[in-house]
Every structure is written in structure tokens, then in C-alpha cells.
Copies of this chain bind each other. A is one copy, B any other.
């Protein structure tokens, strides 16, 4: 079984892991959450690149044969650095998300939402421009804290999302037909985002797109196409020995909040310290 290393600053990457478990159930997973230093989304290129390279190195030391950067900020700011230092294949979330947005958009106009760091990097704008797709990028710094407060379907969250999207779908972008979720926390806000976005807009989730890319890479294309949302496990909670979690802050805390993102309990969680 392939050993896949998945990493994120904390919890968001669990939405990528969830999608991977659906599409690539016959793999072993090592998940690293840098919870003592989260979030990455408000920090500088240098700091995020340093943290992400440390995380990648750790997962390789644990035997990962493929690395998934399950964090938009780390992919946007440090993809090339990680790829150059890693000795295994590295998959980020930006390119898969951008490619799916390109495929889905009829009028070639896409709105991208993400953290401040992801948006400032213009990683999505550049990836979309290669396919002649125009984009409006909008930083939404309050959405991650709202998800972590558990207000995923709250009136306040709908109001905040409404303010952000009204600013994004304005001027030349009122006709954009795709909303690209450029942060791995945002899949938990899909119902709210679908309600406040213009009616004709399709949501593209970079977590799902990334899982599909990994699946294709491992040669599972025909088998798994279009299987999202179906029950692909006979024993969906029987993860014993199959997923190992490593976190830099408290393991108990990670288990408590992480369940919301992964949709299942996490048993094998180890606290570790990275030497800087």
C-alpha cells in the first residue's frame, strides 16, 4: 500500500484527507498538523516556507512516498521550495483546484476566495491565467475563525460571507460562473456560500480536486470518477493502523475539533515537536 503524507497548518487539511479516503481508500496515511504554529494564512512567505519545509521533511522521515500539501497557503507560498527539497513526488492544492475551475467555467471568469497570504501570492490568478481564465481574488480572513468557532451554518457567517462575496462578484465579475474555494476550511461552509453566491455560480472545492489528482496519479481514474458523496467504505470508521496523525500542539484538542472536519473520530494521534 502506498504511504501518503498529508500536511497542513492544522485542521483544514482534514477536508483533503476526507476526500482522499473516499477516492483512494487503499492507501496508508500520515497526517501532519502544525497546530502549535497555526494559522499559516496570516503569515509571511519566509515563515510559511520554513514551517512547510520542516513538515515535509518530517513526513518523509516517517516513510511518506507521496506528499500532499493539503493547505492552500503553504502551496501558494512554498510549493517550489518543497518540491525542490523533497525526494518524493509532491502534490499541492492550487493546480488541481485551478484546473477544475477552468473545466467548469463556461465564460472563463472565476472568483477565488482564500486566506490573506494565499490571495496576496496570486498563485491562483497565475494558474488560471495560463488557461486564459480571468480571476478576481478575494481574501476572507474571518471565514477560518468562524468555522473553528463551529458557526458553519450561523446567521453571522452568512452575513460575513455575503459581505465578502458581494465585494468579489462586483464590477467586471458579476457574471463570473465559478467560486473557487481556495482554503481547505471552506468546504465546511459550502451550504452558506452556495446561498449567498449568485444563483448561477458553481462551487469548486480544491480539496476534492486534489484528491482526484492523487487518485489519477495512482492510476485509479476510471474506477473512482464521480464517486464523491457515495459510501466507498464498507467499514468507514475502521481506520486502525491506516491513518496516523501527528500534531505539534495538544493531541486531545486536535481530536476534539478535528472530528468536525474529518467526519469521523481520530484514534491514533501523537504529539511531536519539530526541531527548528
Give residues in A with beta carbon < 8 Å to B.
Answer: 35-37, 42-44, 46-47, 141-142, 144-146, 148-149, 151, 156, 159-160, 163, 248-250, 253, 273, 275-276
Contacts and interface: CB of A to CB of B under 8 A. Distances in A.
- Chain A contact residues, majority secondary structure: loop
Contacts of A44: 249-250, 253
State the number of copies, please: 2
Contacts of A37: 36-37
Interface centre among A44, A248, A250 (most CB of B within 10 A): A44
B47 A250 contact: yes
A186 to B, nearest CB: 15
B156 A145 contact: no
Closest 8 CB pairs of A and B: A44-B250, A145-B145, A36-B47, A276-B276, A47-B249, A37-B37, A43-B249, A44-B249
A163 B144 CA distance: 19
Nearest to A160: B156
